[in-house]
């Protein structure tokens, strides 16, 4: 007994007092309430003192191992301690939910509206966009990548139907009263009566400042104003860019919503020729080359041509190309194209081609669509052809010829126009017959030794072409000669 008692005394820790950890454990196991209370009291006080010494803050809801007192959690006061990763994940979840739940459905709804809506404004610009893309050689993907085939097919179906509606259209030149000229000719001389398109007030004021321009007579008046800095305007308020009385020619700047172009008015229709390329069948010529070869003061593009992948040489014409009764092309049968040209009376006729009719024409060609027939507009809206650079040829009842080129495909300057806008311009200047010509990068106007339109071609000079409309020079001057008073 004494040995067992001594061993128990030897295993105990000397100096341990009641209330120590061992004592607390023994009391706790024995169920002594007094010992437990003492342990909690001493342990809690020590923990609080330690927490204060380390700058920790009490964290509610947590308890220590020795009792139910709250445990104080140490706070990291270093830089970046306020960033809480769990909140980041929460924000990411909210962003994903926003994209999937709100933004994506909105984008889908917007696409469906653009692709299928019948709202007039949306339908109009969807149609123009598809027509513009699908009538190019290399940019059709701009339509096919966004719109389903069914929508594109519907637009192109309407375009084809528009062409068929012109199949029976022909100009007749029915007898009508002569076109009336402005009535203020009593206050103007023969010059203002003939060139009634000019604003008489601005023109008279300019000539008063520069009497040397008409010192040899009004029939010698020639000036160029391509920079539009002379303050000269047409009766319609458009800039007068050139007055070339010796060559019976007037050039105006035209503009509208999103486009700019040039309108040449030729007072003598006998000066107009359709010049063909010297190497027709092999390759074409640029417009300045045509003007040099034919001694022309002005020229614009004319026929379409075979243009595989947009790199054609311009040598093979599409459709008829008639010069002095001889057809150097061939009738275009793949679409509803119209034939037009000057008969030997220098009047323009628009009709359908029939074999053998070439002998009646001084010149003629085929293209589409007819813009104006016997003074009536034949196209409505885009006519399935979108917005493009364009060229057109027309004639008034009194014989004056109108040659119009509108620039395009150049953001910030001119995007191009519809065929209806071309028709509107020509009607504004009293066209009686008018035809649309080849357009796009072929559209170009060249006058007196310089390009006066901005072609969308890579070179800025237009394309190599099989033929061109030319105004023969009659004044005997060299290109670039003028008597500009400024």
Does residue 47 fall inside a structural domain? no
Note whether residue 30 is domain-resident.
no
Does residue 306 lie within any of the structural domains? Answer: yes
The residue from 121, 136, 164 where one domain ends is: 164
Q: So what's the pLDDT on residue 473? A: 96
Residue 248 backbone zone (phi > 0: left; psi -120 to 50: alpha; other: beta): left
Judge whether 47 and 64 are in contact, CB under 8 Å. yes
Residue 69 resides in a domain: no
Question: Does one domain contain both 128 and 194?
Answer: no
Domain of 320, in residue numbers: 183-472
Asked if 105 and 253 sit in the same domain, the reply is no
Q: Are residues 285 and 256 part of one domain?
A: yes
252 with 200, same domain: the answer is yes
Predicted local confidence at residue 158, as pLDDT: 83
Contact 422, 392 (CB under 8 A): yes
pLDDT tens by residue, the chain, 486 residues = 444 444 444 444 444 444 444 444 444 444 444 444 444 444 444 444 444 444 444 444 444 444 455 555 555 555 444 555 555 555 666 677 766 677 778 888 888 888 888 888 888 888 888 889 888 878 888 888 888 888 888 888 888 777 777 877 888 876 655 555 444 444 357 898 899 999 989 999 999 999 899 888 889 999 999 999 999 999 999 999 999 999 999 999 999 999 999 999 999 999 999 999 999 999 999 999 999 999 999 999 999 999 988 888 999 999 999 999 999 999 998 778 999 999 999 999 999 999 999 999 999 999 999 999 999 999 998 989 999 999 999 999 999 999 999 999 999 999 999 999 999 999 999 999 999 999 999 999 999 999 999 999 999 999 999 999 999 999 776 676 654 544
What is the DSSP code (8-state) at residue 371? E
Domain assignment present for residue 484? The answer is no
How many angstroms from the chain centroid is the CA of residue 76? 60
Residues 150, 213: one domain? no
Together in a domain, 132 and 220: no
Confidence (pTM) = 0.71
Beta bridge partners of 393: 403, 435
d(CA 239, CA 243): 11
- Mark whether 188 and 150 lie in a shared domain: no
> What local confidence, expressed as pLDDT, does residue 109 receive?
85
In a domain, 416, yes or no: yes
- For the chain, the domain total comes to 2
Do residues 340 and 328 touch, judged by C-beta distance below 8 A? no
Query: Given 164, 197, 216, which residue is the final one in a domain?
Result: 164
Q: Are 236 and 160 within one domain? A: no
Q: Are residues 279 and 329 in the same domain?
A: yes
Of the candidates 164, 193, 211, which is a domain's last residue?
A: 164
Instruction: Mark whether 188 and 142 lie in a shared domain.
Output: no
Q: State the distance between the two ends of the chain, measured CA to CA, in whole angstroms.
A: 139
Residues 194 and 149 in one domain: no
- Residue 360: inside a domain: yes
Given a contact cutoff of 8 angstroms between Cβ atoms, the answer to whether 465 and 284 are in contact is: yes
Residue 220 lies in a domain: yes
Together in a domain, 191 and 134? no
How far apart CA 365 and CA 299 sit, in angstroms, is 16
């Amino acid at each position: 007994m004494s040995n067992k008692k001594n061993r128990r005394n030897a295993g105990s820790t000397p100096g341990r007092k009641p209330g120590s950890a061992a004592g607390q454990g023994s009391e706790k196991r024995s169920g002594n309430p007094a010992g437990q209370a003492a342990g909690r009291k001493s342990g809690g006080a020590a923990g609080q003192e330690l927490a204060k010494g380390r700058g920790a803050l009490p964290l509610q809801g947590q308890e220590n191992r020795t009792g139910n007192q709250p445990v104080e959690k140490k706070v990291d006061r270093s830089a970046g301690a306020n960033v809480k990763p769990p909140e980041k994940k929460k924000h990411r979840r909210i962003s994903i939910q926003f994209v999937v739940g709100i933004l994506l459905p909105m984008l889908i709804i917007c696409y469906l509206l653009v692709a299928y809506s019948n709202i007039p404004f949306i339908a109009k610009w969807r149609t123009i966009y598809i027509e513009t893309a699908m009538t190019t050689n290399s940019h059709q993907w701009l339509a096919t990548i966004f719109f389903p085939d069914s929508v594109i097919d519907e637009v192109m179906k309407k375009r084809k139907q528009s062409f068929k509606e012109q199949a029976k259209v022909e100009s007749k030149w029915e007898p009508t009263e002569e076109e009336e000229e402005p009535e203020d000719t009593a206050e103007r001389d023969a010059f203002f009566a003939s060139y009634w398109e000019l604003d008489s007030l601005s023109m008279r004021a300019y000539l008063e400042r520069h009497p040397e321009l008409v010192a040899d007579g009004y029939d010698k008046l020639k000036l160029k104003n391509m920079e539009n800095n002379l303050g000269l305007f047409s009766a319609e308020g458009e800039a007068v860019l050139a007055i070339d009385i010796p060559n019976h020619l007037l050039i105006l700047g035209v503009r509208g919503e999103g486009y700019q172009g040039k309108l040449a008015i030729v007072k003598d229709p006998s000066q107009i020729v359709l010049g063909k390329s010297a190497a027709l069948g092999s390759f074409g010529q640029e417009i300045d080359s045509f003007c040099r070869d034919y001694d022309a003061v002005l020229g614009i593009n004319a026929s379409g041509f075979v243009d595989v992948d947009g790199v054609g040489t311009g040598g093979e014409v599409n459709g008829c190309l008639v010069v002095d009764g001889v057809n150097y092309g061939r009738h275009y049968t793949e679409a509803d194209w119209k034939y037009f040209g000057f008969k030997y009376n220098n009047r323009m006729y628009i009709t359908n081609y029939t074999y053998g009719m070439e002998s009646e024409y001084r010149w003629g060609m085929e293209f589409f669509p007819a813009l104006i027939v016997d003074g009536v507009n034949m196209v409505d809206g885009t006519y399935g052809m979108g917005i493009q650079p364009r060229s057109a040829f027309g004639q008034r009842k009194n014989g004056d010829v109108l040659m119009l080129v509108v620039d395009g495909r150049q953001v910030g300057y001119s995007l191009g126009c519809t065929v209806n806008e071309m028709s509107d311009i020509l009607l504004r200047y009293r066209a009686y017959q008018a035809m649309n010509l080849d357009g796009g990068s072929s559209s170009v106007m060249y006058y007196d030794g310089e390009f006066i339109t901005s072609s969308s071609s890579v070179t800025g000079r237009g394309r190599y072409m099989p033929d061109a409309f030319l105004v023969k020079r009659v004044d005997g001057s060299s290109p670039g000669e003028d008597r500009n008073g400024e």
